[in-house]
Amino acid sequence: METQKINIINNENAMEADILAMFKLEEFNKEYAIYSFNEEYNGKVKIYASTVLRKDDKVLFEDIETEEEWTRIKEEIKKIAVEGSKLEVENND
């Protein structure tokens, strides 16, 4: 399947990243983005999570504010990954 791309401007430098997922958590009434610059780290790959803030016509990626939020986001990421791995198995069948 095709991976979604996004231009992320960091300190006025634009970097292309793969958007892995974007979702909303109703309990915090916030949107989140999970993305990766495909950087390797000890045989693994780094993934980033940011709060999505829409301001005027711009989209800002802000830091995760609380530990509770971050824990919840990690749970959601795991859930998404589990669903994704099921899809992988179905496709291989």
Partner 1 sequence: MTNFITPINESILNGSKVIAVPNNFRLAISNSYSKYIEEVKISTNKTLESHIDGIIEKDDVIIDEAFIGAIPTEKLKKMIATNENKLASLEAQEDKNLENSMKELERIISSYKVNLELRSNISTSLNVPYDLSRKSDEELLKIKNYYLETLELMKSTGGNKETINSTLKEISKIDKMLNKEIDPSEQYYELKSQQAYLTAEMNKYNLITDEIKAKLKATTGASDEVLELSNDLEKFTGINEKLREEFAVLKDKEAELVEKNPALVKPETVEVPLIKQEVKVEKTPEEDLLTYVLETATKENERLENTISELEQVIKGIMHTISISKEQIEKNNDTIKKINNRGMEEEKIKVYN
Q: What residue ranges bind partner 1 (CB under 8 A)?
A: 1-4, 6-10, 14, 18-26, 31, 33-34, 36, 41-42, 44-50, 52, 58-64, 70, 73-74, 76-77, 79-85, 87-88
Pairing of strands 40-41, 4-10: unpaired
Identify which of residues 14 and 93 has a Cβ nearer to partner 1 in the complex: 14
Measured from the CB atom, is 63 or 93 closer to partner 1? 63
Using a 10 angstrom Cβ sphere, with 0-12 exposed, 13-18 middle and 19 or more buried, the burial of residue 26 is: exposed
Min. distance of Cβ 43 from partner 1 in angstroms?
8
